[in-house]
Amino acid sequence: MNAYLNALGIVCSLGAGKAAVAKALFTGARHGICKREGWIPGHAPPLGAVEVPLPPIPQALAGTRDNRNNRLLLAAAQEIETDIRAAIAHYGHARIGVVLGTSTTGIEEATNGIAAYRRDGTWPPDYRYAHQELGAPAAFLAQWLALGGPSYSISTACTSGARALLSAQRLLKLGLCDAVLCGGVDTLCRLAINGFHALEAVDMQPCDPFSRHRRGINIGEAAALFLMTRERGPVQLLGGGASSDAYHMSSPDPQGTGAQTAMRNALRNAGLDASQIDYVNLHGTATEHNDSMESQAVASLFGRPVPCSSTKSLTGHTLAAAGALEAAFCWLSLIDDRAKRRLPPHIWDEQADPALPALAFVRVGDHLPTGGRRYLMSNSFAFGGNNSSLILGDPA
């Protein structure tokens, strides 16, 4: 079954909208990662915060749906609102679904509300428990657009956004929807930032994926929203794969067995061979164990220097949004000027870890080969050995 990614709305620390994000992405601009006070006591970690003004929640929903996560999602949705409204007119409200990956939802607002309750003994007037429910972003989008198709969120940690695209593809294949709004959204929150800090996984300097000096992640926030249909569009979701190695609660299988399984499943699902992949967007968190595992998995599977990069040094790790955001970067490469078709560069200190297999990291200005269809892979790996891989390409 053919699934096409017909439209993309995107907001992250690189900017708002496809044009701004692509400009920063392909030039390797690291302006989105800045040190910020107030998130970890006694520290100022670099964070990939969205600094552009976000749109207000529509008045009819402002009393029940107003939080930063939904405003970030709305900003992405508004970029493709014309496409969404056209799909509604074509298919009808009841035939359009919503599947989103998320993990933070409105937990920052909930944290502030709980702090106020502990201090004052009463809940603040704007506290809404529903903000922190994992289904809240999907429910907001469906309610705003009056959609009647399946609507739900997926929360599998850092694979959530990627799995949302796989679930959307399944809804189309099963005939339950004619179009699906799918992607991921997560916002900065103290719970997640301090949780990773407690795991000693946060770098207090801009992160360096796959470097011998890597010390951990920078955390970011983002929303990436696709309109997926069966009708031919600019980019095709050729397939995807998933696995769960359940090696450890927070550490990946050191040999990358589960990661390889997810990539092999994606290739099989897409009907492709590893030799046909032109680029891999790595999960590349800049943590010791993830980068070691992933470099081994990629080197073993491809057996050749396939161009690859981690974009988390540009955006931070956007948690549940990461899989959708990095698929969006592949989308931007495929729709880039055909004379260029630039690839996202790997921005780091260029001090390779000699203990890791050597990978062919993309430099600023590198681009896809010309001629023929091009196929790009995007990897996402998560706590609990939860792995996923997507393959995007030129439409047939």
User: How does residue 337 score in pLDDT terms, banded at 50, 70 and 90?
Assistant: confident
User: d(Cα 296, Cα 256) in Å, to the nearest integer?
Assistant: 6
Question: 31 an active-site residue?
Answer: no
The answer to whether residue 131 is catalytic is no
- Which of these is catalytic: 12, 158, 308, 330? 158
pLDDT band of 253, cuts 50, 70, 90:
confident
The answer on pLDDT for 252 being more than 80 is no
Given a cut of 80, whether residue 384 has pLDDT beyond it is no
Q: Are 216 and 203 in contact (CB under 8 A)?
A: yes
Position 249 scores a pLDDT of: 67
Catalytic residue among 12, 189, 207, 283: 283
Average pLDDT of the residues in 267-275: 97
Question: Cβ atoms within 10 A of the Cβ of 392, count?
Answer: 27
- Average pLDDT for residues 107-122, to the nearest whole number? 94
H or E element that contains 378 = strand 375-382
pLDDT at 114: 93
- List own/partner pairs for 169-175 with CB under 8 A and 24 or more apart: 169/1, 169/3, 169/228, 169/237, 169/240, 171/97, 171/99, 172/1, 172/3, 172/228, 172/229, 172/230, 173/1, 173/3
Q: What is the pLDDT of residues 184-236, one digit of tens each?
A: 999 999 999 999 999 999 999 999 999 999 999 999 999 999 999 999 999 99
Q: What is this structure's pTM? A: 0.97
Spot the catalytic one: 177, 317, 330, 346: 317
pLDDT of 251 > 80? The answer is: no
- As a whole number of angstroms, the distance between CA 373 and CA 394 comes to 5
Q: What is the pLDDT of residue 371?
A: 84
pLDDT at 175 over 90: yes
Look over the chain and give the mean of its residue pLDDT values, rounded to a whole number.
Answer: 95
What was the pLDDT predicted at 250?
A: 66
Residues pairing with 388 in the sheet: 242, 380
Query: Helix, strand, or coil here: 105?
Result: coil
Residues 6+ apart with CB under 8 A from 128: 64, 67, 106, 109
Q: Residue 211: which CATH number?
A: 3.40.47.10
Give me the number of domains the chain comprises.
1
- Residue 116's pLDDT band (boundaries 50, 70, 90)? very high
Q: Which of 162-176, 223-237, 258-272, 371-385 has the weakest average pLDDT?
A: 371-385
pLDDT of residue 77: 98
Q: Are 232 and 5 spatial neighbours (Cβ–Cβ below 8 Å)?
A: no
**93 assigned to active site:** no
Q: Above pLDDT 90, what percent of the chain?
A: 90
Question: What kind and span of H or E run contains 162?
Answer: helix 160-173
pLDDT digits (tens, 9 = 90+) for 351-371: 999 999 999 999 999 999 988
- 243 C-beta neighbours (distance < 10 Å), count: 22
Q: How far apart are CA 201 and CA 274, in angstroms?
A: 31
- Measured in Å, how far apart are the chain's first and last C-alpha atoms? 12
Q: Identify whether the C-beta of residue 241 lies closer than 8 Å to the C-beta of residue 268.
A: yes
Whether residue 385 is predicted with pLDDT greater than 80 in this model: the reply is no
Tell me the mean pLDDT in the region 98-116.
94
Residue 321's domain comprises 3-393
The pLDDT value recorded for residue 244 is 87
Strands 386-393 and 219-220: unpaired
Say how many C-beta atoms besides its own lie within 10 A of residue 283's C-beta. 31
Tell me the per-residue pLDDT of 125-153, one tens digit each, with 9 for 90 and over.
989 898 889 999 999 999 999 999 999 99
User: Considering the chain, what percentage of its residues have pLDDT values greater than 70?
Assistant: 99
